[in-house]
Amino acid sequence: MTYNRLESFSIVLLVPKWIHRVQSKKQESTFYVTPDHPYEILLFFRCHINTRFDVSIDICGVNCPSQEQRLRVLYQLPTTQYNSCIRIKIGVNEITIVSSVISISPSAGRWEREVWDTSGVHFSNYLGLCRILTDYGFEGHPLRKDFPLSGYVEVRYNDLEKCVVYELIEMAQEFCYFDLASPWQA
């Protein structure tokens, strides 16, 4: 029994209070959910017999600066029972706290830490929420659109002090000659 888009509309009717948009492309549906209820909707999707979306493969954070809700948390859930996949999106801003789903699927622990580290979405009810991919003492959230590609700080080994030193970034422009008169001639 494959789960197709006709059924995605019937799912909306089961939990209408929490969903405010459904997008279905080919055979994958995306549900846009109100930001207060990720825990409830994930538990519903996991336990309800028609929608046994019990695995949590990915939780990632997306930064869309043009939208009102700047940050989005995206949950990807496949089902082993019905062999399909859905996506759940939540739109939050930088200060909103989202409830953690770690009690439903423990693998979410690692994903939520990554979302906190890269995009800055804070999760409640999570005891060990700390950085996982960036350096110790790193400030800022790298996957946000206002964070520059090269970052703010660079690291180098200082011979005098015999240790690794953090300094503000310095980009040497030795081999760049910006002659904007004509791009084709040397």
Partner 1 sequence: MFLRRFAGPLLGKVKESTGLVGLEVVPNAREVLIKLYKETLESVEDIPTYAEYRKAVEKFTRFRLKVCEEEQEWEKIEQRINGGQVEELIVMAKDELMLMDKMKEWKPWEVPEDHKIEIIQDDTPIPAHVPRHRSLFTLDPFVPPPKEEVERENERLRKRAEEKTKIGAQ
Phi, psi of 69, deg, nearest 5 = -85, 100
Q: Which residue is it, tokens 């055979």?
A: 27
- Site map for partner 1, 72-111, x if CB under 8 A? ---------x------------------------------
Beta strands in the chain (DSSP E): 19-25, 28-33, 58-63, 71-79, 84-92, 97-99, 122-124, 153-158, 163-168
Residue 55 makes contact with partner 1 by CB under 8 A: no
Percentages of the chain per state (helix, strand, coil), in multiples of 5: 15, 30, 55
**Given candidates 2, 3, 4, 24, which one binds partner 1 under the rule CB under 8 A?**
24
User: Which neighbouring-strand residues pair with 60?
Assistant: 74
**Given candidates 4, 23, 67, 158, which one binds partner 1 under the rule CB under 8 A?**
23
Stretch that binds partner 1, among 9-17, 97-105, 117-125, 150-158 (CB under 8 A): 9-17
**Given candidates 4, 47, 156, 158, which one binds partner 1 under the rule CB under 8 A?**
47
Using CB under 8 A, list all residues that contact partner 1: 1, 5, 9-10, 12-26, 40, 43-44, 46-50, 52, 81
